[in-house]
Amino acid sequence: MNTSPHYILLPANPLFIATSVIGAFLLNLLPWDHWYGVPDFVALVLAFWSIHQPRKVGIGIAFMMGLLMDVHNASLLGEHALSYTLLSYFAIMIHRRVLWFKLPTQAAHILPLLLLMQAVQLTVRLLVSGKFPGWLYFLESIVAAALWPVVTMILLAPQRRAIDRDDTRPI
């Protein structure tokens, strides 16, 4: 028997969505680019919102955030834009399926999307520079998938609030 509480979610506030995407971008601006295992927070938040709010956050926002990351990293213009766009597209494709599962299984569905995103970035880098960063490069996606339940709980928290709090109602 499933004993986990089921929440009736409020509509997502567009200001909160924008704040979370900007916050993820600011986390990516921190100087830990060359550390193995640090997740791409923008990709994680874009995947989350593409699954939970595909009409509000989609391929266009993913493309714009990718361009911003390309400018920040001084990488080939379009490298992140292409990978984020593909990530958002495939996340939107599977969003109805993913939402049926519990958080650990959702993370297992997100992991291939994040690995695909990194594989696209790696392919572009290999075509341009020919340098392979090593297999630890893909640790980023594994850590990001492991953070999926935490990110989900944090980003869904504002939607779980009751509009008018009443202690006599169960929901």
- Residue 32 confidence (pLDDT): 85
Structure tokens at 165: 């709090």
Residue 61: which residues within 8 A CB-CB, separation 6 or more? 21, 46, 88
* Residue 58 DSSP one-character state: -
pLDDT tens digit at each of 171 positions of the chain: 444 556 678 889 999 999 999 999 999 999 987 788 999 999 999 999 999 999 999 999 999 999 999 999 888 888 999 999 999 999 999 999 999 999 999 999 999 999 999 999 999 999 998 889 889 999 999 999 999 999 999 999 998 866 566 666 655
In this prediction, residue 1 carries a pLDDT of 41
- What is the predicted pLDDT for the residue at 2? 45
CA 13-14-15 angle, 5° bins: 90
- On whether the CB atoms of residues 91 and 52 are closer than 8 A, the answer is no
pLDDT, position 146: 97
Domains of the chain, by residue range, sit at 14-160
The whole-number pLDDT of residue 75 equals 81
So what's the pLDDT on residue 7?
65
